[in-house]
Amino acid sequence: MVISSIDLKDGHIVQLKNGKELVLQRDDADELISQFNMYGEVAVIDLDAALGNIDLKGNTKNTTLLNSLLRKGNVRTGGGIRSVKRAKELVSLGAEKVIIGSAAWNMNPDGNSEILNEEFLSELVQTIGKDTIIISVDSLNGKIAVRGWTETVNVSLVQGAKEAEKYCSELLFTCVEKEGCMQGTNMEYAKQLREAVNCKVVVAGGVSSLDEIVQLEKLHCDVQLGMALYTNKVSLKDAFVECLNWDKVPLMPIIAQSVNGQVLMQGYSSKEAFYKTFESGKLTFFSRTKNRLWTKGETSGNFLEVKSLRVDCDRDTVLAVVIPHGPTCHTGSWTCFGSDPEEASSMGRLYNVIADRFAKPRPGSYTATLDAKRVREKVEEEAEELCEAESKEDVIWEAADLLYFVNVLLYKEGVSWKDVFDELDKRHKSK
């Protein structure tokens, strides 16, 4: 599958040719990451940090922008990560994986010395876990390239990859001489890497066509795209659809899950259904009963707003993360998997009910009357009343009121409970 790349330099999004020549620059980071995250993970790279352009506090002109993007999708990040402390900090800020470049390598290896900076990598694995680490095996003329691709280490690509695999879950291979040139990557190097290691391999640098992406997918390599996306040579929609394993399944199983993690329904999608989903933003299936495309909610109005699509490891099942606008099941239940109107309350269930009230206001609904200003006033009011509550019963009563208004506030701000719990999880990992 495709990982979209956002490269940062001097506070802007850029694309460089061979890592040096500026080809394009833009400043729509929030819009871009929202668009990219629909189709898969996003790589955010701090080029200034990679080149050592940092201040005394370790920051670059990109730091503020980078930190904000880490919380806006499934983001991996890299560029100048040279300490365990910095890697841990990025994970705590929201990065799902960190990409380690120059710091992974012994800059002057000889026959008697280690290829890798094993002391650093061992500590890194101990601190953030192997699954969180990606090591760059950037190649310049067949040698490992470091320090923003300005130098090489006297180690071959394959030899370096075999050693690096011991300390990471993925390898990021960039063919430097092809980077930004839109002339195709070095497919032979990609094949050699895939045969040499067992971990995931992501190929970057020069990939410029859908055919090439499909070729790499058949090699079981993911692709990190930059220039080809920004110049519209490759469409993320086409890449997503064509990388699915249609040889295995004529119709693609697709599971709809709410942003809070609740499974809502399962159906099947054709290529045409995926394209209609992309166009409308509403989850569309191929109905085997109706023998046609069917957008969930086309009659009832209870549609599923798609936030992101993710593919399983075999490329034969898709997970659609959605915001439901009303109950999902034709029976009136919130989910097709047996939700009971009498089931115990939870934050996720309360959030879903609130979402339904705003999507379909009912006569006399208090929830639907709450605007952003009023709900903030109520959160402050109920928090104060909770703090002043003296008996156990009063604490329970006021806590219920507060949680209701907190749910409304979260919904109004487009924040899910999963976002909140993810934040708590990140804080736990940073300890």
From 5-9, 32-36, 133-137, 411-415, the region with the lowest mean pLDDT: 411-415
Give the separation between CA 304 and CA 284, rounded to whole angstroms: 9
Q: In this structure, are 160 and 212 located in the same domain?
A: yes
Contact 361, 354 (CB under 8 A): no
pLDDT at 294: 96
In this predicted model, what pLDDT tens digit does every residue of 366-397 receive, in sequence order? 887 888 889 999 999 999 999 999 999 999 99
φ, ψ of residue 20 to 5 degrees: the values are: -130, -55
SS3 assignment for the chain:
CEEEEEEEECCEEEEEECCCEEEEEECCHHHHHHHHHCCCCEEEEEHHHHCCCCCCCCCCCCHHHHHHHCCCCCEEEECCCCCHHHHHHHHHHCCCEEEECHHHECCCCCCCCCCECHHHHHHHHHHHCHHHEEEECCEECCEEEECCCCEEEEEEHHHHHHHHHHHCCEEEEEEHHHCCCCCCCCHHHHHHHHHHCCCEEEEECCCCCHHHHHHHHHCCCEEEECHHHHCCCCCHHHHHHHCCCCCCCCCEEEEEEECCCCEEEEEEECHHHHHHHHHHCECEEEECCCCEEEECCCCCCCCEEEEEEEECCCCCCEEEEEEECCCCCCCCCCCCCCCCCCCCCCHHHHHHHHHHHHHCCCCCCCHHHCCHHHHHHHHHHHHHHHHHCCCHHHHHHHHHHHHHHHHHHHHHCCCCHHHHHHHHHHHHHCC
What is the rounded distance in angstroms from the CA atom of residue 170 to the CA atom of residue 136? 9
Average pLDDT over residues 249-258: 95
How many other C-beta atoms are found inside a 10 Å radius of the C-beta of residue 275? 17
What average pLDDT score do residues 82-104 get? 92
Tell me the mean pLDDT in the region 412-427: 82
Q: How far apart are CA 155 and CA 364, in angstroms?
A: 72
Residue 121, in any domain of the structure: yes
Chain-centre distance for alpha carbon 404: 29
Residue 339 resides in a domain: no
Residue 114 maps to a domain: yes
- Report if residue 330 sits inside a domain: no
Q: Please check whether residues 178 and 84 belong to one and the same domain.
A: yes
Stretch 178-202: mean pLDDT, rounded? 85
* Domain count for the chain: 3
In a domain, 331, yes or no: no
- Give me the pLDDT at residue 110, please: 62
pLDDT digits (tens, 9 = 90+) for 62-82: 999 999 999 889 999 999 899
Do 363 and 267 sit in the same domain of this protein? no
Tell me, yes or no, whether 15 and 59 share the same domain: yes
Tell me which of 201, 221, 243 is where a domain ends. 243
Structure tokens at 352: 């879903």
- What pLDDT is attached to residue 179? 66
Which residues form the domain of 423? 347-429
- Considering the domain architecture, whether residues 54 and 143 belong to the same structural domain is answered as yes
Q: Please tell me whether residues 257 and 239 are part of one structural domain.
A: no
Q: Are 295 and 284 in contact (CB under 8 A)?
A: yes
Edge-first strand listing for the sheet containing 143-146: 139-140, 143-146, 151-156
**Is residue 334 assigned to a domain?**
no
Contact between residue 378 and residue 398 where contact means Cβ atoms under 8 Å apart: no
- Cβ neighbours, 10 Å, residue 125: 17
* Domain boundary residue, one of 194, 211, 243: 243
164 and 239, same domain (yes or no): yes
Distance CA(15)–CA(423), nearest Å, equals 31
**Which residues 6+ apart lie within 8 Å of 35 measured at CB?**
236
How many Cβ atoms sit within 10 Å of the Cβ of residue 297? 18
User: What pLDDT does 415 receive?
Assistant: 86
The answer to whether residue 336 sits within a structural domain is no
Q: Label residue 18 by pLDDT band (50, 70, 90).
A: confident
Residues 139 and 162 in one domain: yes
Can you give the CATH number for the domain in which 386 is found? 1.10.287.1080
CATH assignment of the domain containing 87:
3.20.20.70
Whole-number pLDDT of residue 221:
95
Q: Token pair 């979402």 is at which residue?
A: 355
Q: Do residues 226 and 256 both lie within one domain? A: no
Cα–Cα distances in angstroms (integers) from residue 277 to residues 48, 265, 269, 288, 293, in the given order? 38, 16, 10, 17, 10
Same domain for 70 and 117, yes or no, is yes
Say what the pTM is: 0.80
Q: In the chain, how long is the greatest CA-to-CA distance?
A: 79
Q: Does some domain include residue 342? A: no
Q: Of 92, 283, 106, 313, give the one whose Cα is nearest residue 200.
A: 313
Q: What CATH number corresponds to the domain at position 282?
A: 3.10.20.810
Residues 67 and 186 in one domain: yes
pLDDT score of 340: 55
**234 in the same domain as 196:** yes
